[in-house]
Amino acid sequence: EKGYDKTTVDEIVERAGVAKGTFYNYFKSKEELIKIVALQSLPYSAIREELEKEHESLTEFLHSIANAYIVYYCDPVLR
């Protein structure tokens, strides 16, 4: 709504319904929260991309989904 830069940790915890201390038990900063959320959504975005593509066969589709998972889980930078 306000964007990353203008959103504060106080606003995040209020919206999430958790105490500020609880937030800091899990995350060092707002930046770390964003990084973790982005990294955890990578495999889903890769699959979503594959779902949107045209595939000639079910086999090709399944291979592309499997490949997206393999790339994600074998790349230490992405994990």
Domain boundaries of the chain, sorted by first residue:
9-74
Residue 35 tokens read as 């990084």
**pTM higher than the cut 0.85:** no
C-alpha to C-alpha distance for 63 and 17, rounded to whole angstroms: 41
Angle of helix 9-16 relative to helix 30-52, nearest 10 degrees, comes to 60
Q: pLDDT tens digits for 30-51?
A: 988 988 887 777 677 777 777 7
> At 2, is the pLDDT very low, low, confident or very high (cuts 50, 70, 90)?
confident
C-alpha to C-alpha distance for 19 and 77, rounded to whole angstroms: 31
Question: Can you give the pLDDT at residue 58?
Answer: 78
DSSP 2: -
Q: Given the structure tokens 């990353």, which residue do they identify?
A: 4
Residue 69 has pLDDT above 90, yes or no: no
Question: Can you give the pLDDT at residue 14?
Answer: 95
